[in-house]
Amino acid sequence: MRVLVTGASGFVGSHLLPELRRHGHDVTAFVRRPEVIPGLLDAGMAVARGDISDLASMEKASAGQDAVVHLAAMVAAYPKDWDSYVPTALTGTVNVMEAAQRARVQRVLHMSSCVVYEEPPAGSAVTEESPLERRVEPWNHYLRQKLQTETLIRERAVDVDLTIVRPPTIIGPGDRGLVPLLQAIGRSPLGALAGDDGNHFPLVAVPDLVSGLVAALECSGAVGRVYNMASNRLVTKAEISFELSAAGISLARHRPFEQATMVAMRGACRLVRSRGDRPGGRPLTRAHRAAIAGLEARSRRRAQPDLIVDSTAARRDLGFNGDSDPIAALRAAIAWHLSAPGLAHE
């Protein structure tokens, strides 16, 4: 199969390209700067230089392809504004589907994320049938991106065989953002909202994920389906903190400050509500009241329920294997981070 990969220079893309080659596919890497992936041509892969926000370059790259694997997305932890997401996430996704249809590409595989799911009831795992998040915090652009790109790609999947894959946090060597993200969560006063140390943090090792992506691409029965792909082994927050600390990466957390933050959050919510309810005050809209209720609920609930991702469908239909040890993958990611130029002291 002739396969075009967007986001080919990213973390997952750099692992997926050789996996596709090992399965006998003719691979074209769609990248803005080919020099960031040395050895592509030597490995027998073609390169299409372009920008996903530019429809013309997407059309040129899509010509003659049998399939497109759409990985390109904004992955920075907290970019400053939503506008920074639009060219890649929204415009790019529309261009991928438009170019695929014009080039008569039959197969599209899109990588989304498990973040799109609503928080499950305590003790429950999220499946592909679990409800999607309906209320997105104004600052959570990453979640908004994933929800909107899924909507866009579904709306435009006319005469295209579409499959969507939703992994949790992906770990392994080569990810520049994972360790800084875990540090940001651990150090933040609001890190307590992610739950107590015994709660589980869903992960998937990148070799397992790319193997699952190839299986989804090749399986005709996967057309029109969504698949979760997570490691079989559950990992706790305490285990992640231990591995980072053992590598000398600080995750200092200030419990009294966290508790004070929760109290302050509840107080602020009460103040805003009282001002809206008093005579002559500016009335609160339904959206305002819903947002306040959500913040109050989070401030009362320091420990969220475990987030457990069910990958039964991927194992059954695709032979997905989530057996790689996520702790070993985390150690490999940390070792790579510490050895990568410019990252060790970030």
Angle at 92 between CA 336 and CA 220, to 5 degrees: 80
pLDDT in tens, 43-99: 778 999 999 999 999 999 999 999 999 999 987 555 568 888 899 899 999 999 999
pLDDT at 291 over 70: no
Residue carrying the six token digits 């986001």 = 7
pLDDT value for 119: 86
Burial group, residue 328, by CB count within 10 angstroms (0-12, 13-18, 19+): middle
List, for residues 183-209, the tens digit of each pLDDT value: 766 665 545 445 567 778 899 999 999
First to last CA, the chain: 41
C-alpha angle 73-54-31 in degrees, rounded to nearest 5: 55
Q: What is the CATH number of domain 2-177+202-236+306-325?
A: 3.40.50.720
Structure token digits, residue 205: 């090792």
This prediction's pTM: 0.82
Given a contact cutoff of 8 angstroms between Cβ atoms, the answer to whether 104 and 62 are in contact is: no
Average pLDDT over all residues of the chain: 83
Contacts of the segment 18-21: beta carbons below 8 A, 24+ positions apart? 18/43, 19/210, 19/211, 19/213, 19/214, 20/69, 20/214, 21/45
Under a CB-based contact definition with an 8 Å cutoff, are residues 224 and 161 in contact?
yes
Domain boundaries, the chain: 2-177+202-236+306-325
DSSP 192: G
